[in-house]
Structure 1
């Protein structure tokens, strides 16, 4: 469990908590728990929890409703939903392109995650920049504002005319976070160029209001300045496994934790569906043992190429 910051309620040692994911609140990132409680995640905070034995990982349900059969889900799934609940959740998602009558205005945005990693997306105007924080966008700019269907058409236009994707794999985002350009102007340069090209397209939907280029940078919000390169990422939790480390950065759903083996990235979506207890409460303080600093869950180590070693002929 994330040790509780000032003002948050601490769990009892014997109590198992279920994580409902990481949320970006006005005061910063928080781990949310079933029942509505939250644990803020400021940099420097110690995170330490153990996966309860015996229960296994179960489906988190859909649209605020529990899974009726509590189906077991894979340890490495970031969705933590069974096939039926995933289908139900997707059916009510704007991203699934199955909702055409939403009357709310939508923003079209351009987001940058690192050199060459740009995407186009849409989000309801009322959500502000929450969607960009959830995705781990290093910087972004609004591109347009208007009805949902016009926003969707602009997405497709940019994919077809400018070859701008609407998805970037999280693995690619994580790989570049410790080696970003030093200034906000450098980080936003690719967005600036793409923004101008997008607004110049003749096929731009008439009902979509063009937004001026105003870049927003999240490096300080995420804590990415001077971020040490991660040595690996958690590939999945396991019953009895322990996670223990100090928060050095939070970007999107990812916690960058300083551990005994170096910085390890934990995608908090892997925590959902498990019952979690304070580290050491099941017998012995395993959070402080061993060279790995309490990390006893599987970690996929990032490959480090030796200087001057060439992989192949080309």
Structure 2
């Protein structure tokens, strides 16, 4: 593998998903694109660092880690994270939102106004609506109020999101129904901070953006990349950090966060997956594992 790059992650642009590489190179991912890359022979996965700085120890990290950071860099990254509730002096305005990922999978969260819907695209939200806008701490208090009063979480595991993407209700109105009910209940609650301005219910649907209409059910997901391994498949959908790739054995989901920290390069387009894949169980008692 003569030429190698390191992936900085999947980003969502106005034109759809884009893979970003160290050094600024970008790879657009239109539907139908054949995705093919290999992992350097004899390579190891190293920590991606924190806050834009390289890891001083160049520590080796596990293949199955979606964070791709050593303990020290993960601590530094989290110390400056709004999501971890460690930042209290951010003067930017924030929005509180309700996001829906599938039947029974709704969460509440906050994001900076300047980021627009980017956070919702990054999480793979199938549809969402804003709830209110205001200072960070007011948004935080509102998020906690809604979690307690409505019984909605602030996190949903990606495994649960992936499990329902191919079986979503067919219309945007049906997909928005759950957050519409919760939005109405939230607006009727007392105790909202005075500095938070309520927002009307205006659902935004991402099924077309993600390519989820008529999405075939996935047969499995990549567990990790390995030295000398290869990934090949045609892109049929993408949501959050996940690429849904059509392979000879069916659609397999690749969480692009697993790519970070590896040296990757081109491989022949022909061939299949040569990385560990976890098969999605269809029948109780069937052993997991495609390979």
TM beyond 0.5 = yes
Quote the residue 2:113 is aligned against: 125
Matched, 1:78 2:66: yes
Instruction: Verify: 1:41 aligned to 2:29, yes or no.
Output: yes
Shift of residue 25, structure 1, vs aligned partner: 1.3
User: How far, CA to CA, are the matches of 1:55 and 1:241 in structure 2?
Assistant: 10
Give, in whole Å, the separation in 2 of the partners of 1:119 and 1:21.
24
Tell me, which stretches of 5 or more residues in structure 1 are unaligned?
Answer: 1-12, 281-286, 310-314
**Counterpart-to-counterpart distance in 1, 2:165 and 2:112:** 27
**DSSP 3-state at the match of 2:83:** helix
Compute the TM-score of the two structures, normalised by the length of structure 2: 0.96
User: Corresponding residue for 2:276?
Assistant: 298
Confirm whether residue 138 of structure 1 aligns to residue 138 of structure 2. no
SS of residue matched to 1:273: coil
Secondary structure class of the residue paired with 1:94: coil
Correspondence for 2:154: 166
Q: Does 1:54 align with 2:36?
A: no
CA displacement, residues 97-152 of structure 1 (integer Å, 9 cap, x when unaligned): 11111110000000000000000000000000000000000000000000000000
- Residue-by-residue CA offset, 1:43-86 (whole Å, 9 max, x unaligned): 00000001001220000000100001110000000000000000
Q: Distance in 2 between matches of 1:72 and 1:226?
A: 40
Residue deviations 1:14-57, cap 9 Å, x none? 21010000001122110000001100011000000010012200
Structure 2 residue 18 is the aligned partner of structure 1 residue 30: yes
TM superposition outliers: structure 1 runs of 4+ over 6 Å: none
Deviation at 1:96, TM superposition (A): 1.1
Q: Choose 198-207 or 254-263, whichever is displaced more.
A: 198-207
Deviates further, 91-100 or 128-137: 91-100
Question: Is 1:14 the counterpart of 2:13 in the alignment?
Answer: no
Alpha-carbon distance in structure 1 between the residues aligned to 2:244 and 2:86: 35
Other-structure match for 2:270: 288
Name the structure 1 match of 2:289.
Answer: none
What is the correspondence of 1:267-282 to structure 2 with a 5 Å cutoff? 267-280=255-268
The alpha-carbon deviation at position 288 of structure 1 amounts to 2.2
CA distance in 1, matches of 2:103, 2:162: 12
Q: Which secondary structure does the structure 1 equivalent of 2:165 belong to?
A: helix
Contiguous gaps of at least 5 residues in structure 2: 286-291
Tell me the SS of whatever aligns to 1:96.
coil
Q: Partner of 1:116 in structure 2?
A: 104
Q: Provide the C-alpha distance between the structure 1 equivalents of 2:150 and 2:256, rounded to a whole number of angstroms.
A: 33
